[in-house]
Structure 1
């Protein structure tokens, strides 16, 4: 927004409106004394709750560019970054840019441009839930706030995975990744195909942008726009997390990112790399792994397909211990389902994602993990496979547990070599 100096200068000349806020900066020593921290947090959150906007620091109320001293730019930027993290919930991640703008005398003076896109979330700042009305911020009326939560999928009424992601363009998607969903017989334009697949949708300005599903399935690193769209995998030594035992309590740790199908496969490799495999020599040599990798594959597919991506700050967590595997997936169980009914019922929180996974081919060298050719079959058999395959291997029941109505935990017991089944 206002991406070149001429456009930004002209916008400042015209004055504040729904998309522009101007702030003069004053410092007391190295501490920013103006604008006030809470006030600036309110302005930035109001932009995020509306259609986005730009705040320029270093411009007075009379639209005169007064600048920021060069040796104070770091302090001002730190001030902005800190309040976006600690004074706004969920935190903001604006684009902070240092520029030089012409003053009334023609001198080029440093300023800081803070660009805030319209957000996928509804943000609360010290002044409450605010939005931008013309050149002012206003507290949202209860009915307006309820509609905004609904529109941004926090109320789970609109499918979150089909929402356009602010600030992302179709060029940010990898052609190699989205073209794998194209039928060989069809030659639709990119825009038509992505819209049909729910990988792109028009935003409030009518601009076609990648959806949450599009970013998750067709970008090399979804974390650029969805910071928690990854799997945090840790393999521990022993049966408990014991950081006080020294630096070697973790055997392996990795943040697994990439498109969702790649995350599934790399998570399976993580388990295969860190689990024990025993050689059983009764009636010829036979390898007995701690975990059935087909069950692990199904568990990972279910986790990336059904987790709630609208919960800010949550990620899939894979924990590997000597006696069990734990998999934490953000979100409650959808559509009146219960933990007990999981093996028998089927419901999808993310229709676009599950549809894409059902069309997503598995590389030939990875098909040892499953007998099908696509990542998902949508027949609702995954939970049954996880429970049955795990019990056949270990002789113990795998189980699910819902934590605080916000996270689903799957525990798969490891096979005990001393009690190996016949």
Structure 2
């Protein structure tokens, strides 16, 4: 975060020069507890234009024509802050903005409060109320269809090719949790060098260090603060349909990805039933093979499409089945029919780090969280079918989501009793 003294010095200098491709000034009018000018849609267009270009700064409380520092009443600063936050979340996809409240002198030397808003260059293309805009010189311009197509193509290609190595502009070094980076540091090399070699951090166009997508997922305490959908939503129902009246338990697993996996598996353990029969001794019949569930959760977290804004992993437990819905269609040439024979990785960096630095849950009976032998899907299919006598079902939904259904075993239908009888 820029030092306040440096920020004020830069701001005074920029006001003297006027607007350019990186700075926009606006007067602001407030009546009662509402901002009446500028119009919120106009401000949304300005913010989105910065994000779609190379980023920039909006300053409220400075007249754009006269460059006069008009200021904002202290009592209204909270109103302006909330107004800006609402505008940013209304942009599609929602925009992350940094807001600072500072005082700068006007021409008479009187200190006046202004609101400083920084928008980083985005890895997404943002649509605001009046369409798609970008910044050209000191003004916003509507994108031509050709420019919009090229930008969408460029940024979607960035998402498809090593998206997990792309920088997340708002995630700086201060976002790193010290206890989470320790596992990656070896020997005497500088910390910065080691984390860069692993593609956990990198430098943006201005030379500032930022976390990559993989860095956010592995090194921050709550990745959803930077990638809003980077968590696992878990819900358990008493019946066979999604109905809030029959909801038994719910949890958002939103820590670093290894913690998301652990919490999601614990959620299944906590909510699945274990029945029993006597033949002649007691035979416990769990609804699900937990090693298979573990593989399914790991696959969902490691291989989901993190570039899809607003799409989270959904793990839903019903009385007769477990459903795991993962954002993103199958990558490249992989198909439903070839999943158990072929393995193609979407997030190469993330998968590589999970396979090298993270021990597995003991229930998986293996050494690392991911073992890159392509055995995850075969394990899910075979182990689940042995238990419930029904083969799990993979479905691709509109090429944007992969849904796995694992059917529950019961006293009436399971493979354990027959196995016991055979022995």
Same fold (TM over 0.5): yes
Residues 45-84 of structure 1 aligned to structure 2 (within 5 Å): 45-61=48-64, 62-84=66-88
Residues 102-121 of structure 1 aligned to structure 2 (within 5 Å): 102-121=105-124
Distance 1:181 1:150 in 2: 34
> Which runs of 5 or more residues in structure 1 are unaligned?
none
Out of 143, 151, 176, the position equivalent to 1:173 is 176
Residues 147-296 of structure 1 aligned to structure 2 (within 5 Å): 147-153=150-156, 156-183=159-186, 186-243=187-244, 245=245, 249-296=246-293
State the superposition RMSD in angstroms.
2.0
Out of 123, 126, 129, the position equivalent to 1:123 is 126
Residue 28 of structure 1 deviates from its aligned partner by 4.9
> Which runs of 5 or more residues in structure 2 are unaligned?
419-423
Distance 2:31 2:293 in 1: 57
- Contact 1:237–1:321 (CA under 8 A) maintained in structure 2: yes
Indicate how the Cα distance of structure 1 residues 220 and 75 shifts in structure 2: closer, same or farther if over 3 A, else same. Answer: closer
Residue 30 of structure 1 deviates from its aligned partner by 4.2
Q: What is the aligned partner in structure 1 of residue 421 from structure 2?
A: none
Q: Which moved more, 1:66-75 or 1:90-99?
A: 66-75
Indicate how the Cα distance of structure 1 residues 265 and 398 shifts in structure 2: closer, same or farther if over 3 A, else same. Answer: same
Out of 252, 274, 294, the position equivalent to 1:297 is 294
Distance 1:209 1:169 in 2: 4
Distance 1:240 1:81 in 2: 36
Distance 2:196 2:223 in 1: 19
Distance 2:115 2:136 in 1: 23
Distance 1:2 1:19 in 2: 16
Distance 2:320 2:220 in 1: 35
Indicate how the Cα distance of structure 1 residues 190 and 140 shifts in structure 2: closer, same or farther if over 3 A, else same. Answer: farther
Residue 279 of structure 1 deviates from its aligned partner by 3.0
Out of 390, 410, 416, the position equivalent to 2:384 is 390
Distance 2:195 2:384 in 1: 38
Query: How many equivalent pairs are there?
Result: 412
- Contact 1:401–1:409 (CA under 8 A) maintained in structure 2: yes
Distance 2:183 2:32 in 1: 57
Could you give the per-residue CA deviations for residues 322-380 of structure 1, whole angstroms, max 9, x where no partner exists?
111010100111112222221111111110111011113326xx31x212111101211
- Contact 1:150–1:158 (CA under 8 A) maintained in structure 2: no
Distance 2:33 2:262 in 1: 49
Residue 409 of structure 1 deviates from its aligned partner by 0.6
Distance 1:42 1:393 in 2: 55
What SS does structure 2 have at the residue aligned with 1:334?
coil
What SS does structure 2 have at the residue aligned with 1:168?
strand
